């Protein structure tokens, strides 16, 4: 099948979502901090529905242990996650704008990296990194909303993963218990469920703003 032109791609999305919804999605710039199981899945969902621009950040490369839950392929092993995910997202939506930042996020560079974002998805694995990002965004980036995850390890218990509004600027996804620190491995099904909650919360924030 021939590649869809920009106009054809736009028409397809408008047919699916309606003009007003598509306009809001297309105008949105969303930040994704961490491109592992959560971040790569969130990015794929947002690219598919026509979000206009993603700012994606991760300093890591694709490793064999990533393939059980992350949106990468065997031939991308050793490739920067930013480069690999950009390639994959462009295959899904050739017209999405992507700013790729192959950096380790710290309190000193988060604000600059995600400048222009109204919503940031926290997609780290480790609790310390999660806390650092959430605190930095809430304390230094006025009016920016962060959608974070706590508790997605293991398998089963799908309905225990939920979305909670902690404050006007913090949405929390997960069961708040089943983290890797508690000895639960990260497996594709529950990671994808949590990432779906994140992407859905982001879409709701975009459309209802």
Instruction: Please report, in tens digits, the pLDDT of each residue of the chain (209 residues total).
Output: 458 899 999 999 999 999 999 999 999 999 999 999 999 999 999 999 999 999 999 999 999 999 999 999 999 999 999 999 999 999 999 999 999 999 999 999 999 999 999 999 999 988 899 999 999 999 999 999 999 998 777 677 778 889 999 999 999 998 877 555 444 677 778 889 999 999 999 999 999 98
Residue 2 within a domain: no
Q: How far apart are CA 10 and CA 3, in angstroms?
A: 13
* Contact present, 43 and 56 (Cβ < 8 Å): yes
Residue 22 within a domain: yes
What CATH number does the domain containing 71 carry? 3.40.50.720
User: Tokens 């791609």, residue?
Assistant: 9
Domain extent, residue 38, equals: 16-207
Q: Considering its fold, how many domains does the chain have in total?
A: 1
What the block records as the tokens of 193 is 């469920």
Residue 4 within a domain: no
Q: Which residues pair with 103 in a beta bridge?
A: none
Q: How far apart are CA 29 and CA 47, in angstroms?
A: 11
Residue 51 within a domain: yes
Residue 1 within a domain: no
Residue 90 within a domain: yes
Q: In this predicted structure, what is the pLDDT of residue 103?
A: 96
Q: In this predicted structure, what is the pLDDT of residue 1?
A: 45
């Amino acid at each position: 099948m021939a590649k869809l032109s920009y106009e054809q791609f736009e028409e397809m999305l408008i047919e699916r979502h309606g003009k007003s919804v598509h306009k809001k999605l297309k105008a949105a710039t969303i930040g994704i901090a961490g491109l592992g199981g959560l971040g790569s899945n969130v990015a794929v969902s947002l690219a598919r529905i026509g979000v206009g621009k993603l700012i994606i950040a991760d300093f890591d490369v694709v490793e064999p242990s990533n393939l059980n839950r992350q949106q990468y392929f065997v031939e991308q092993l050793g490739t920067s996650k930013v480069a690999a995910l950009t390639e994959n997202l462009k295959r899904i939506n050739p017209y999405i704008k992507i700013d790729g930042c192959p950096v380790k996020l710290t309190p000193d560079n988060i604000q600059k990296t995600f400048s222009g974002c109204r919503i940031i998805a926290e997609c780290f694995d480790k609790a310390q990194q999660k806390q650092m990002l959430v605190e930095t965004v809430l304390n230094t980036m006025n009016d920016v909303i962060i959608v974070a995850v706590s508790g997605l390890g293991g398998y089963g218990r799908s309905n225990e993963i939920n979305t909670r509004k902690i404050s006007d600027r913090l949405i929390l996804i997960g069961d708040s218990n089943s983290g890797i620190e508690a000895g639960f491995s990260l497996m594709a099904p529950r990671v994808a469920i949590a990432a779906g909650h994140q992407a859905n919360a982001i879409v709701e924030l975009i459309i209802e703003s």
